[in-house]
């Protein structure tokens, strides 16, 4: 369930049914809310002001998290069981492209200045788990960074990317 709250009072202004086990991201430029519906393999696109559902689009298996690239007008969806990220147009919500990444992508961080998205992959069986850096052109990986033991979250800091780890 998506709840729209009044930021001053905390009152619930409205609700919208979305998939089970959701993750959400907001694009303030397009005034859209994107909700990854893990078990349904979809992303719900909602109007941020009204909370009304605009559309639901199919993505890869087990969409785990989302990252908004405001400057590029894109929303990235980490599809954990497909080993891909789906790239959505932030205005229409439609899938623009699907890109293969490492095993088990879980979380992403966008570096608007460098034009990159960093993808933390959790299930690398044949080597270290890694954080992939992908250029917005989507044509090639810029680099990958070994990471131990298990990437759980990442976030951009100007000129760097932070990765929080869950110890085994």
pTM across the whole model? 0.79
One digit per residue, the tens of pLDDT, for the chain of length 168 reads 888 777 888 888 888 888 876 789 999 999 999 999 998 999 999 998 888 899 999 999 999 999 998 888 999 999 999 998 899 999 999 999 898 887 888 878 787 777 778 787 776 554 444 555 555 555 554 455 555 444 444 455 555 555 554 444
| Number of structural domains in the chain | 1
Q: Which two tokens stand for residue 131?
A: 């954080």
Domain with 112 in it? 2-165
Helix, strand, coil tally for the chain in percent (to 5): 0, 60, 40
The upper half-sphere exposure of residue 123, i.e. CA atoms within 13 Å in the direction of its Cβ, equals 11
* Nearest-angstrom CA–CA distance, 160 and 95: 28
Cβ neighbour number for residue 145 with a 10 Å cutoff: 15
Q: Which two tokens stand for residue 122?
A: 């959790």
* Nearest-angstrom CA–CA distance, 86 and 88: 6
* Nearest-angstrom CA–CA distance, 32 and 105: 23
* Nearest-angstrom CA–CA distance, 86 and 96: 8
- pLDDT (0 to 100) of residue 152: 46
Write down how long the chain is: 168
CATH number at residue 115: 2.130.10.10
């Amino acid at each position: 369930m998506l709840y729209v709250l009044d930021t001053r009072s905390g009152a619930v202004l409205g609700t919208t049914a979305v998939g089970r086990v959701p993750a959400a991201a907001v694009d303030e430029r397009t005034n859209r809310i994107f909700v990854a519906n893990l078990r349904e393999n979809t992303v719900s696109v909602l109007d941020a002001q009204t909370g009304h559902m605009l559309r639901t689009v199919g993505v890869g298996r087990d969409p785990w998290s989302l990252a908004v690239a405001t400057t590029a007008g894109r929303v990235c969806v980490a599809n954990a069981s497909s080993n891909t990220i789906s790239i959505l147009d932030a205005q229409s919500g439609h899938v623009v492209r699907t890109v293969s990444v490492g095993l088990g992508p879980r979380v992403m961080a966008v570096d608007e200045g460098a034009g990159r998205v960093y993808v933390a992959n959790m299930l690398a069986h044949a080597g270290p788990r890694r954080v992939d850096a992908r250029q917005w052109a989507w044509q090639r990986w810029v680099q990958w960074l070994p990471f131990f033991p298990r990437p759980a979250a990442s976030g951009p800091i100007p000129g760097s990317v932070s990765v929080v780890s869950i110890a085994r």
